[in-house]
Structure 1
Amino acid sequence: MNTRERAILLGADSPHNRTLLEEAGYDALIAPDLGQLCQTLAQGAGMAIIALDGLNGIDLAPLRLYLSQQPPWSDLPIILIINRGIGEDALPAELGNVLLLERPFQANTLISLAATAIRDRRRQYELRDRLHELTRLEQALAGDRSERERAQDQLKRLNETLEQQIEERTAQVRHNEEALHQAQKMEAVGQLTGGIAHDFNNMLTGIIGSLELMRRRLQRGRLDDLDGLIEMGVTSANRAASLTHRLLAFSRRQSLDAQPVEMNPLVTAMVELLQRSLNESIDLRLLLGDDLWVAEADPHQVESALLNLVINARDAMPEGGLLQIETRNQHLDERFTRGQQNLAVGDYVVLSVSDNGCGMPQSIIDRAFDPFFTTKPIGQGTGLGLSMIYGFSKQSRGHVAIQSTEGKGTTVSLYLPRHSGEQVEAEPQAHDDTQVAGKGETVLIVEDDSAVRLLVCEVLDELGYTFIEARDANAAVPILESAQHIDLMISDVGLPGMNGRQLAEIGRQLRPGLKVLFITGYAEHAEVRAGFLEPGMQMISKPFAFELLSAKVREMIEG
């Protein structure tokens, strides 16, 4: 074994990483603890590969001492494996020449980074040899005049070479870092776009195929059995809508309606639905905490997350088993939050789903939150359930964690922040099934997509509303400035130029108390509704059912 170029590994996933390195032709050795790591490094190494979570609670003094005692030519490359979203303040500042590798990562990413570290280390050894040569030449300067002149010429050339090598090494390190970041981005983009293309092509086939068949039958005058084709198209379209919502959840760009959430009643109300999702061989148990705090989150997203976790637990127990849903209060201190990006110290309500099924190895846990990553057979899972929960938790200022042991089971815990304000009891609302317009009620519709604008106009026309169309904010402002009676403005948030929220501000300056219903497919600044909406404003997400649109219009006009 070439001790000068071997990799010394420390951390729980070291056996897996050693296998990857050895398959790529690198020598690798696992150190059982930090002390042994430092001893092995002193015998010669090309790099160290350390999992950051393996350093939690460990005194780093031996590693600091080793690094501080390196000779001037040495700057040991350390590949530091970190979890996604970790903050820079959680990284040990004293490690020096660190290359970060974020979980989950592909095998070729690790190998590429190892190659970079080894090239860096080789240059250091070359520098050491140059320094030894420099020392020899300096000693020669003490000799006779002719020897000193020759030594001076060699020393001058050596210094020029050293400066050039240092410049080349610095440029190469920067290039390697940029190439690594780009490779990681392309891996993520490739996996994401591949999954999107696969799922969307299936859904579009259902939509386009059902429409094409309906057109053919209508051309032939066949009006029988159209309901089945319509249902097939609607089902495929709804699946596509669900996919986009999950993608927005993963990217933390969905529109959240954060509210005080009583977790125990929410879980209890879902028991019947959850039981229907399980088979008789699975025993569902609730362990609901006493005196549970009120959480702050979007209750619909919490329900969706719980259902996804229960289905995952069910699939992990094909032969049956115990599935437990637990709620509890937990205070997260700085030791817990230090390793998590944008997670504040404080009180959290925890919702956990546990099973005693097959469990997961560390390599699967590392990729569990990746979009479109699934271990289920083709056609039995999209790989978006956990990624949606991950994005939802982060956007809600919370956290999600997985604990799993192969053959023993898995626990997924969702941490949601404690509600800090006073809880307001929701007042029961009277629902009027009659959603037709009153006499003279007028709606201003501002939407840049002509198809969406046409459909909204058709729905309002069927209900008897008077409507006015505008394709963007510039066309809507003159209407707002006019004497035209307007009961409600429906506006897309993502308008070209002036956006819908800015238009609403102008509209309320011109018409104080103007009621505004926003419709949005995605808007960068509309993720959290509480900070986006004012009294007299509401929001629905595209695509929406026309029943929901008509109900919202009626509700807002009636005030």
Structure 2
Amino acid sequence: MTAPQKPSPQLSPRHYELLINAVVDYAIYMLAPDGHIISWNAGAERIKGYSRDEILGQHFSLFFTEADRLAGKPQRAIATALAKGRFQDEGWRLRKDGKRFWALTVLDVVRDEQGALLGLVKITRDMTEQYQAQQLRLESERSFRLLVDAVTDYAIYMLDTEGRISSWNSGAERIKGYTGSEVIGTHFSRFFTPDDLAADVPARALRAALEEGRFAAEGWRLRKNGEPFWASVVVDPIRDENGRHIGFAKVTRDITERLEAERKLEEARNQLLQSQKLEALGQLTGGLAHDFNNLLTIIRGAAELALRSTAEPRVQRQTKIITDAADRGAAITRQLLTFARRQPLQARVISPSETLRQTVTLLEQSVPRDVCLTADIADDLPEIEIDPQQLELALLNLTINARDAIHGTGTIHLRAWCCELAGELDNLHGPFVAIAIEDDGEGISAEVCSRIFEPFFTTKRFGEGTGLGLSQVHGFIKQSRGGIRVDSTPGEGTTFTLYLPALGGGSGTGGRGPGSNKRILLVEDDQNLSEVAAAMLEMMGFEVLQTHSASEALAELSRVIRVDLLFSDVIMPGGISGLELANRVRERLPELPVLLTTGFSDAVQDGVSYPLLQKPYTYDDLADAVKALT
């Protein structure tokens, strides 16, 4: 027998009223078909601020802003609800105190059992906090988008899960050259080189980012115009709040300048290392060459004295073997010195007018279009003996320096003429060919001017120059028995003038006519070499005073009444070199001719220039050098 079912409880209208009044998070109230309020719950009182007695009978448009009322929004809400059965909206509403709140509202039609219209029920929820949070989030996203788009040094863009571009900032447009409309929706592999594409680098980059959480690398990428640039790239996976992979963030930076700076730095380091090696090697070979040349001079000089002292054929033949061996030893010494210098001079007689006109064509290629290079070269320049290639390189070096000193437009002028020097520059005398490089650049201060010929000194930024250019020009001109002068005014320009001795005139120092019975002060620290040199000079008819150090020579000069020539080795022990001795003697006896000798080809390149006799020298070499000065 089935038990009787218990009837379900029925809620009375009073129960519904209590239920609705218990809801405080929602404003729930009834409207008459014309919009006047006919019921009011506790939630409506809390949200709107009106009590039941204050609001019943009022039109619900009271809660709308003035702008919404003027736009007829309350009437449209009722009309829509009556026509469609429901109206849903969100927007600003007003509380009793006039403050606004963001409301989510629903308006439903209420009918009785027969379908007759009773009114409308309105439900309102205060969503101000949620709306403000959403606005803050939207503003944050907007600010972030503006921030990303404002970055111009980095290409920052998003890829979808397949690698297609979905966003594009201004930095990406500047670096890559594409606008957003050109690339959005295309695959990011378009920026890779053909070699990277063949190696599947784009796909491997995305896989690495997913598997390892990040991919970072450097490599060549392509701009829109096909130009390669060196890029630093980072790819990060993007996941939503649930951890689902939704794409990639890609950041690219153009670091081509850094790569070039690193390359120049490495070149500078290599140049410095090479120069240090050459300096050490030069000191080693120079020291050996000095001692070796002394020995060769003794051997060859003694052999020549023997040749001139006997007519015995057998002795002549043996002595000739000795001189030939000494000559071969001298050739080896020259090769060692050439290796240490790394830049031997190949001097020959040239016509400077023709050579300079040919060089101007080369110089024109080294200056930009906004710098004008002009030339004024005299037609009747005398011949000079010089290494033409090194002259060309020296002028090119000076022209490039002039170009770098000009910012924007400017002028570089090459001028060549013949002049006479009377000792005003490096004690040079006689006819010279002067070659000047003039510019109207920024000029050089007096402090810098005093140091420009120092090796490794430069005013250029690091990596833009080695600091060796002007020192090489200086050394080349000195080695060519000439001089160099610099004139500069800051803000107005600079002029470098090279003076090269003309054939048949330039002597380096003023000389005296030849004669006999002259007295020569010989300064040579090697006893055997001193004896051989003295014997040669005596055979030529000179009286020789032998000393073996600079201090002995100075003492001898103070004692004797007359000396017609100082003949000194350059490198000697005792703290005073032959060059320093010559300078001191020149201060006391400015008219006294000085002849220096050394096994170093470039031993005399600073300060005053003196005639230099290379070791090992022969009898004829010594005779010619002394004859030119006495």
Give the TM-score normalised by structure 2: 0.33
**Greater C-alpha Rg:** 2
Structure with greater helix percent: 1
* Structure ranking higher on relative contact order (CA contacts 8 Å, 6+ apart): 1
Structure with greater strand percent: 2
